[in-house]
Amino acid sequence: MINHVGNTFAIQYFDYLNIFVIKSFRSFPTLILLLLLKYEVGKKATNALSKIYGTKYVVGSGADTLYPASGGSEDWAKQTAGIKYVYLLELRPDEKNWDGFILDERQLIPTAAETWAGIRVVADAVIERAHRKNARINGSTIKQEYRFGNGTTGSCYDLRHACKRWVREKESICQTVPIFMREQCAYSCGHC
């Protein structure tokens, strides 16, 4: 069972240390099949989730799909840590299941697989929105061609400002987390 108070307390210190890096926060209580986020992104994410195992999720605000409540980790992330994109995913088992947070071990991998499909949709939407916002200068958009590493133009760049710092702090990070770092930190990891 998840300890939301302990979870929020632990995340609090992590978030304050990384406040300039965090663009999105997700909370994953496992109780019912709901996806709480911007409706159009939620619909795309639930479609991606459903394609994996046919699981049906509900999209909507927490108050509409669950019940009015406050004080969860998503509230803390939004209000206290100031994280702009905060999402809450309520996973298997569904609300009709009598044992609530207890998930049968045979459902762990399927739940993780479909959840990952939904997370990718949400992450892509957050990244796309951030890119659109960053590309707007005086009401017009420009093609983004920059490298966070040294500011020169080119087609190879880091998607995250923290890439250079991550590589400096832990030189092996490009090898220990290769897929993420290749996608997010191509320039700093020397993939171009």
CA distances to 1, 74, 98 from 64, in Å: 24, 16, 22
Specify the CATH number for the domain of residue 122: 3.40.630.10
- pTM for this prediction: 0.51
How many independent structural domains does the chain possess?
A: 2
Which of 111, 73, 109 is closest to 91 using CA atoms? 111
- Say if CB 69 and CB 46 are below 8 A apart: no
| pLDDT tens column, 73-116 | 777 777 777 776 667 777 777 767 666 677 888 988 998 999 89
Q: Are residues 123 and 150 in the same domain?
A: no
| pLDDT tens column, 114-169 | 989 988 888 888 777 777 766 664 455 444 444 444 445 556 788 888 888 889 98
Q: How sure is the predictor about 38, in pLDDT bands with cuts at 50, 70 and 90? A: low
Residue 189 lies in a domain: no
Question: What is the structure's pLDDT at 39?
Answer: 74
Which of 43, 74, 44, 79 is closest to 59 using CA atoms? 43
Catalytic machinery residues? 90
